[in-house]
Amino acid sequence: MSNYPVLVCGLRAFLHPMGPNKENAFNPCFVTWLYGVFAIVTFVSGFVYLFHTLRYGLRYGTYSPKDTGLSHYIRVNSVLLHVILFLYLTSFNSIHERLADHKIFAFGSVSIVLLFLILPLHFIETSYRAIPSDLLLLFWPGLTLLHLISLFQDNYTNWPVIKSVEYDSQIKVIEFFLIGNSISIFWMEFSKDIWRPNSELTLQYTKDGRAEKLCEPNVIETITFSWMNELIMTSYK
């Protein structure tokens, strides 16, 4: 209890994001709210996107490695590993500690989003889309940032979000691994050398004269204008 002498929780935590006593730490309630809001926004947008894709989208080919490529299954299994590790991390939240309701809601919501939205979207996207999903490309940097905040908060401040005297070292290792894995998944999703649409989709788009859609910039390239790099280099030549 001494770790949480005076905290501003509830919606007011958004007005008091830093820890008490002007410490170099976030308010743990604010951190849990970040997880919760992130999960809610992702759930709403992800549910609409998944429903629209399955209801109105056109699937090309099958989900076999022959059509999707092995890199697709490496990425999907990395997401599955992330789900398992995050669920394991969530299990360290005790229902008997202070602020337990906030933590269980926040981490539970992210777990649900990972398992029932992000994982299925990763599995189906290459058979429905010519370029990576905007939602997935934005989700992983956001989750990585939250993991970084948790790592800092739990290990380098007096205001941990997840704390267990007995399992402190395990929590730290898991948090480091989650950060590395989320960065890896983002890179596999973003990289044009790794991410490929279903081979049947590529073939059909080429036959239909829509091959240019396979080269359209994704949302990250659009935001950063990195899609112009090749154009600029060509103009210099």
Q: Give 227-236 pLDDT, tens digit per residue.
A: 455 555 555 5
Specify whether the CB–CB gap between 214 and 192 falls below 8 A.
Answer: no
What torsion, rounded to 10 degrees, do the Cα atoms 174, 176, 178, 182 define?
Answer: -170
**Cα–Cα distance measured from residue 209 to residue 61, given in angstroms and rounded to the nearest whole number:** 18
The per-residue pLDDT for range 75-120, each reduced to its tens digit, is 999 999 999 999 999 988 866 566 677 788 999 999 999 999 999 9
Q: Cβ–Cβ contacts within 10 Å for residue 98, how many? A: 14
Among 35-44, 112-121, 144-153, 211-220, the minimum mean pLDDT is found in 211-220
Higher pLDDT, 6 or 214: 214
Percent above pLDDT 70 for the chain: 87
**Cα–Cα distance measured from residue 59 to residue 51, given in angstroms and rounded to the nearest whole number:** 13
Higher pLDDT, 111 or 225: 111
The pLDDT, as a whole number, for residue 152 is: 93
Percent above pLDDT 90 for the chain: 64
Q: Cβ–Cβ contacts within 10 Å for residue 231, how many? A: 8
Residues 6+ apart with CB under 8 A from 29: 7, 8, 9, 10, 13, 99, 102
Report whether pLDDT(43) > 90: yes
**Cα–Cα distance measured from residue 9 to residue 177, given in angstroms and rounded to the nearest whole number:** 29
Q: What is this structure's pTM?
A: 0.89
Q: Please report which confidence band the pLDDT of residue 126 belongs to, taking 50, 70 and 90 as the band edges.
A: very high
Report whether pLDDT(58) > 90: yes
Nearest-CA neighbor of 114 among 82, 141, 92, 142?
82
The pLDDT, as a whole number, for residue 4 is: 46
Token couple for 42: 């992702």
Q: Please report which confidence band the pLDDT of residue 14 belongs to, taking 50, 70 and 90 as the band edges.
A: confident
Angle at 205 between CA 201 and CA 207, to 5 degrees: 120
Specify whether the CB–CB gap between 79 and 209 falls below 8 A.
Answer: no
The pLDDT, as a whole number, for residue 103 is: 86
| Phi-psi domain of 27 (left: phi exceeds 0; alpha: psi -120 through 50; beta: other) | beta
State the average pLDDT over residues 114-141: 96
